[in-house]
Amino acid sequence: MANEITKPIILDETGKDIAQAIRELSGGGGGSVIITLTKGESVRQVDNKTFLAMCESGLFTSDDLGTMASIPNLINGQTMRIRLIGLNHDVLSNTDLGELEPNGVKAKTTWQFYDMPFQKVNLGLPYEEEKTGHVRSSQPSDVSIDDCAEVTVTTDAPSNMHGYTSAVGLLNAMQEIFNSLPNWLKNAIKTVRKDCFISELSANGYNYENFDSTGTLIAMESDRYGSCINAKLFCLSATEIGIIPNPQETFNAFPYKIQDGNGDDVMLEGTKYEYFNETYPYTSEPENDKRRPCKYNDQDWDYWLRSPYLLEGGSWGSCNGSGYVGNDGTDGNGGVAPAFCI
């Protein structure tokens, strides 16, 4: 007996049973997570496998826009709500044709975090030396750059001149949120192309104007020169949440659209999601139909957009708890309400 060797008991030598148990504990098993879908008076419950199938097979319709999906254990064990804001809207990155606007196969659904994962995020933009110049945004190529908006960058606040791709604090928050999601959801989220506006964009050494903006390069060369990203989680732009230029204002506060060299309109930061109302910047939504606000700890809270403020170098676009879209200082903190596609 002293020399007897006892073989370990292995319930499943292939490890399949153990792996399945781990998946179920982490919310990765098909049917292990119960999601509550709410739209108006309608409430129903589905498991996560059914929810994903509904998204990917196109079962959601325009009547379902605004549907809240309450998901348990979404981030750090917390139940959080996401809302349906778009259908067949965003182009899958691996199918995009690389044109001035996204063109390819579209994801079936786009959702936005209604409950914000983070309350205070700094944009993480760089500081720059003081400089002043004019930025072409919506003005076509036959308009003199001197007749476009004048912008000053100071050393007092981080600079917004290099756009969303330079907001490393915001982009890091997107990555951390994605990392925290359960595997069943991470595996379902699609990578999509999102367009950005960059006020000062270096393009192969060309220097048409003191600031070669995205608008300049589209108007002069019909090329975006890298002013877009491929992302799983992304902040919404001012245009995407329904902001349009105010015809009574001389210059656009946020990027909207411009004509390329052929005279065709090109959207600078995407198009409005079907769910949102359309208003001017600094205009409150209808009191009985506010669609933009999101929550942090069940309170309306400001959140950052993807859009730089075009009229000064030290401000960035944000949406507040009243659905009012304006600008906040680039040295401040704001919530994040990312969107993603399934």
3-state secondary structure at position 214: helix
Q: Tens of pLDDT along 153-182?
A: 999 999 999 999 999 999 999 999 999 999
Classify burial at 223, counting beta carbons within 10 Å of its beta carbon; exposed 0-12, middle 13-18, buried 19 or more: middle
Pairing of strands 109-113, 78-87: antiparallel
pLDDT at 198: 97
Residue 3, pLDDT > 90, answer no
pLDDT at 205: 64
Q: What are phi and psi of 122, to 5 degrees?
A: -85, 140
Residues in Cβ contact with 61 at an 8 Å cutoff, skipping those fewer than 6 apart: 87
* 210 confidence band (pLDDT: 50, 70, 90): confident
CA-CA distance, 183 to 118, in Å (whole number)? 20
Of residues 206 and 54, the one with the higher pLDDT is: 54
Q: Tens of pLDDT along 41-86?
A: 999 999 999 999 999 999 999 999 999 999 999 999 999 999 999 9
pLDDT at 31: 52
**CA within 13 Å, CB half, 96:** 22
Phi-psi region of 270 (alpha: psi -120 to 50; beta: other; left: phi over 0): left
* 297 confidence band (pLDDT: 50, 70, 90): very high
pLDDT at 314: 98
CA-CA distance, 129 to 117, in Å (whole number)? 34
pLDDT at 306: 98
Of residues 155 and 226, the one with the higher pLDDT is: 155
Average pLDDT of the residues of the chain? 91
- Beta strand residue intervals within the chain, DSSP E: 34-39, 42-47, 68-75, 78-87, 109-113, 118-122, 131-135, 149-153, 192-195, 228-231, 257-259, 265-267, 294-296, 299-301, 303-308, 315-319, 325-329, 333-336, 339-341
Q: Tens of pLDDT along 8-41?
A: 444 444 444 444 444 444 444 445 899 999 999 9
Look up residue 83 and give its two tokens: 């809302």
Q: Is the distance from CB of 242 to CB of 212 less than 8 angstroms? A: no
pLDDT at 202: 73
* 262 confidence band (pLDDT: 50, 70, 90): very high
Distances 120 to 111, 296, 319, 335 between C-alpha atoms, Å: 21, 10, 14, 5
Expressed in percent and rounded to 5, the helix, strand and coil fractions of the chain are: 15, 30, 55
Residue 285, pLDDT > 80, answer yes
CA-CA distance, 340 to 342, in Å (whole number)? 7
Residue 271, pLDDT > 90, answer yes
CA-CA distance, 49 to 34, in Å (whole number)? 9
- Looking at residue 16, the DSSP 8-state letter turns out to be H
Of residues 171 and 204, the one with the higher pLDDT is: 171
Residue 335, pLDDT > 60, answer yes
The stretch 178-191 carries a mean pLDDT of 98
The stretch 119-148 carries a mean pLDDT of 96
The stretch 185-210 carries a mean pLDDT of 90
pLDDT at 274: 98
CA-CA distance, 303 to 120, in Å (whole number)? 9
Amino acid at 41: E
Q: What angle do CA 52, 54, 60 make, to 5 degrees?
A: 130
Distances 302 to 137, 155, 336 between C-alpha atoms, Å: 26, 25, 8
Residue 7, pLDDT > 90, answer no
CA-CA distance, 269 to 256, in Å (whole number)? 7
CA-CA distance, 308 to 288, in Å (whole number)? 29
CA-CA distance, 221 to 121, in Å (whole number)? 36
